[in-house]
Amino acid sequence: MTQTLRQHAEQQFADELAAIAKVDQRQKPTNWKLSPWGVVTYLMGGKLDGGFEVSPKYIGSQRLMEIAVSTLATDRALLLFGVPGTAKSWVSEHLSAAVSGDSTMLIQGTAGTSEEQLRYGWNYAQLLAHGPSEKALVPSPLMNAMRLGKIARIEELTRIPADVQDSLITVLSEKTLPIPELGTEVQATRGFSVIATANNRDKGVNELSSALKRRFNTVVLPLPSSQDEEVSIVTKRVAEIGRSLDLPAEPPALAEVRRVVQIFRELRSGQTDDGKTRIKSPTSTLSTAEAISVINAGMALAGHFGDGQMRSADIASGLIGAVIKDPVQDQVVWNEYLETVVKERGEWKDLYRACRDHD
């Protein structure tokens, strides 16, 4: 059994990718492992001829996934855009795994990301000893993807300084990466594309220039449209993470998952589920990913310090920590929600007491 904490998508779901490839007789773009139909089938899940069951990686609009895959089949780069927690990175990884069989050509965008990290750098020992040469060149994941005809992933594009972002323009428009120090260039092999992710909610966001925006086809990933859809996503991911971490706890009751999701949705929307009561929203994003984290933390508490069955007391601390990011403003919002909403729901008395005891 592997000791890897988290396998890459192409490793974790290798059997599914192989099963789809076996039945996928449709036309594949050059250097793609699967056809566009096969990639969407891998993402959305379903039953193949022969009865093999493919698990869904994305629970949401199939049309959005079809648009994303179609973009990659052209010469356009793909920008996955949305608020935090809408599965942008998750979709990016699985798209790369299904298209290229390799999701590891990754550049993590930060405020400190430099042009060298996007394009190429130098081995300075070689550079000082022999001057600029191919041997001294240190290729970036983007350059490697261009040479191999694979997908390059750029996470959090809007966190990268604007002048560094714009170094992508030539690559995306000309499909060429000049290396002026060597008087040469790297031309992209067919199959190469870029998937970038971005959100506009975090602090430190750098807007994309209009020139760079034009090089991307933008697909906006929305928050789950219904409570049932969000509950399905949370339940599935909680079970997967629980298995990978060997948490000694039973899967949470569906009612507990639904309660956490309902709290997150109500605080996000600023009103109760029935639409009768207006409430204040906290500064936190309260994404689906955070709901998954709250329940997994509750399972860990129940498994390691309880009887293995998750209860209200096990999720209270994680819930409060997810909601209260600003200790002044969010505390007021949370207290008001507890007193006007949670306290008034008879079946939620246990959660109200657990949250009050935690305070």
Tell me 217's DSSP state. Answer: E
Pairwise CA distance, residues 230 & 90, whole Å: 15
Q: Pairing mode, if any, of strands 193-198 and 137-139?
A: unpaired
Which amino acid, 335? N
CA distances from 269 to 61, 188, 195, 266, 272 (A): 21, 44, 30, 5, 8
Helix (H, G, I), strand (E, B) or coil at 297: helix
Instruction: Give residue 2's pLDDT.
Output: 60
Q: Pairing mode, if any, of strands 77-81 and 216-220?
A: parallel
Pairwise CA distance, residues 296 & 278, whole Å: 29
Q: Tell me the Ramachandran region of residue 101: left when phi exceeds 0, alpha when psi lies from -120 to 50, beta otherwise.
A: left
Instruction: Give residue 1's pLDDT.
Output: 47
Instruction: Give residue 359's pLDDT.
Output: 65
Instruction: Give residue 156's pLDDT.
Output: 94
Q: Pairing mode, if any, of strands 193-198 and 77-81?
A: parallel
Q: What is the pTM of this model?
A: 0.90
Concatenate the DSSP letters of all residues of 260-278 into one string: HHHHHHHHHHTB-TTS--B
Pairwise CA distance, residues 243 & 251, whole Å: 10
Torsions phi, psi of 264, nearest 5? -60, -45
Q: What is the pLDDT of residues 178-230, one digit of tens each?
A: 999 999 999 999 999 999 999 877 666 888 999 999 999 999 999 898 999 99
Pairwise CA distance, residues 312 & 232, whole Å: 20
Instruction: Give residue 95's pLDDT.
Output: 98
Concatenate the DSSP letters of all residues of 11-41 into one string: HHTHHHHHHHHHH--S---TT-SS-HHHHHH
Let me know: does 244 contact 6? Beta carbons within 8 Å: yes
Torsions phi, psi of 352, nearest 5? -60, -45
- Describe the strand order of the beta sheet including 77-81 as a list of residue ranges: 106-108, 151-155, 193-198, 77-81, 216-220
State the distance between the two ends of the chain, measured CA to CA, in whole angstroms. Answer: 42
User: How many CA atoms lie less than 13 Å away from 44 in the CB half-sphere?
Assistant: 18
Pairwise CA distance, residues 350 & 255, whole Å: 13
Which residues of the chain have a pLDDT value below 50?
Answer: 1
Let me know: does 189 contact 29? Beta carbons within 8 Å: no
* Bridge partners for 195 per DSSP: 78, 153
Burial class (CB in 10 A: 0-12, 13-18, 19+), 109: buried
Q: Which two tokens stand for residue 49?
A: 């001829």
